[in-house]
């Protein structure tokens, strides 16, 4: 763990390093859609995009936590109401699927729709059918955001899907690889703890900054 602590200064450096890994000429020429799977991912995605004219957006996702344990994520829902369930945890905690689907609907109605109207001014996620997509986040503890985003994106039949992420666990890398055309990363870590540990500085993305990033890239 100590080997990888603070291996990246901030998202600005992460973006610069990823630009050396991502085929930026193809990203520009093929007009890839750049889609963040979190607020922090949107900041990183915007920095990767720079002055290019590529579409930039965020796919809103919400975690579903176990009953009576608000620190244990058992599923995740996307803004198109695709749901990914951690079957092992659901079985271990004997959680009813009615609870999962009920929470997914509630999170979609209360949180995701609110985000759509606040940050996108009511515009729903644009179809990526026959498009090339680059999914971005600044890290990945469990892979649930990427898996849920992939389920959402692949249902729309894109031409190709890639992932860009500075740091991620080795087992998550193996889990994601079969579902994408390529993954651009800087470090895969066996004993991954939490994303913040691997950055010297992590800037929080507040509502104002999120709205600004989306407005600048509209």
Q: What is the pLDDT of residues 71-82, one digit of tens each?
A: 999 999 999 999
3-state secondary structure of 9: coil
Q: Is the pLDDT of residue 8 over 80?
A: yes
**Which residues have CB under 8 Å from 71's CB, separation 6+?**
65
Q: Is the pLDDT of residue 38 over 90?
A: yes
The domain locations on the chain are 2-58+129-216, 62-119
DSSP state of 135: E
Q: Report d(CA 33, CA 36) in Å as an integer.
A: 10
Q: Is the pLDDT of residue 3 over 90?
A: no
If you classify domain 2-58+129-216 with CATH, what class do you get? alpha beta
Characterise 33 by phi-psi region: left (phi > 0), alpha (psi -120 to 50), beta (else). Answer: beta
Give the model's pLDDT for residue 95. Answer: 95
Percent of the chain as helix, strand, coil, to the nearest 5: 45, 25, 35
Q: Is the pLDDT of residue 215 over 90?
A: no
Using the structure block, give the residue that is written with the tokens 């989306």. 214
Give the model's pLDDT for residue 2. Answer: 63
**Which residues have CB under 8 Å from 61's CB, separation 6+?**
37, 38, 76, 77, 78, 79, 112, 145, 148, 149
Q: Is the pLDDT of residue 194 over 80?
A: yes
pLDDT, averaged across the chain: 95
Q: Is the pLDDT of residue 1 over 70?
A: no
By C-alpha distance, which of 95, 78, 214 is closest to 86? 95
Q: What would the mean pLDDT of 160-172 be, rounded to a whole number?
A: 98
């Amino acid at each position: 763990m100590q080997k990888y602590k603070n291996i990246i200064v901030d998202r600005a450096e992460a973006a610069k390093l990823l630009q050396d890994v991502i085929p930026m000429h193809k990203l520009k020429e093929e007009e890839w859609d750049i889609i963040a799977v979190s607020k922090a991912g949107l900041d990183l995605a915007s920095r990767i995009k720079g002055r290019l004219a590529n579409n930039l957006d965020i796919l809103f996702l919400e975690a579903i936590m176990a009953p009576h344990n608000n620190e244990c994520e058992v599923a995740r829902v996307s803004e198109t109401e695709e749901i990914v369930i951690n079957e092992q945890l659901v079985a271990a905690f004997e959680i009813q699927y009615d609870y999962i689907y009920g929470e997914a609907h509630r999170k979609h109605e209360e949180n995701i729709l609110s985000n759509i109207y606040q940050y996108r001014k009511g515009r729903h996620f644009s179809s990526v059918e026959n498009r090339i997509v680059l999914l971005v986040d600044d890290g990945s503890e469990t892979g649930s955001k990427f898996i849920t985003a992939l389920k959402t994106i692949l249902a729309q039949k894109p031409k190709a899907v890639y992932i860009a992420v500075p740091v991620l666990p080795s087992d998550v890398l193996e889990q994601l690889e079969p579902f994408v055309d390529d993954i651009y990363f800087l470090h895969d870590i066996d004993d991954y703890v939490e994303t913040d540990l691997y950055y010297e500085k992590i800037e929080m993305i507040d509502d104002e900054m999120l709205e600004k990033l989306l407005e600048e890239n509209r």
